[in-house]
Amino acid sequence: MVSDSSPYEVKFETLLIDNIDFQIRSLKDRQQFDDPDGIAEDMGISSSQWSLFGIVWPSALALTNAMVHFNTEGKRVLEIGCGLAIASITMHQRHVDITASDYHPLVECFLNENIMLNDLPPLPFQTGNWLTENPLLGKFDLIIGSDVLYEQTHPDLLSAFIDRHAQPHVEICIIDPGRGNHNKFNRAMEHLGYECSTEYLPAQMIQEKSYRGKLLHCDR
- Residue 154 · residue 176 · CB < 8 Å: no
Helix (H), strand (E) at residue 31: none
pLDDT score of 94 = 96
pLDDT score of 147 = 97
pLDDT score of 1 = 34
pLDDT score of 131 = 86
Strands 76-79 and 20-27 come out as unpaired
29, pLDDT greater than 60: yes
Mean pLDDT across the stretch 20-34? Answer: 96
Q: Where are the alpha helices (DSSP H) in 106-205?
A: 107-117, 154-164, 182-191
Share of the chain above pLDDT 70, in %: 98
How far apart, in whole angstroms, are the C-alpha atoms of residue 121 and residue 124? 10
CATH architecture assignment, domain 57-219: 3-Layer(aba) Sandwich (3.40)
Mean pLDDT across the stretch 190-204? Answer: 96
What are the strands of the beta sheet with 97-102, ordered from one edge? 125-127, 97-102, 76-79, 140-146, 166-176, 214-219, 195-200
Q: Is 168 exposed, middle or buried (0-12, 13-18, 19+ CB in 10 A)?
A: exposed
DSSP character at residue 57 = -
Give the C-alpha distances (Å, rounded to integers) separating 106 from 34, 54, 96, 140. 10, 9, 24, 24
Considering the chain, what is the average pLDDT of its residues?
A: 94
- Residue 112 · residue 142 · CB < 8 Å: no
pLDDT band of 134, cuts 50, 70, 90:
confident
For 14, residues 6+ apart whose C-beta sits below 8 A from its C-beta are 21, 22, 23, 24
54 residue type, one letter: G
pLDDT score of 175 = 98
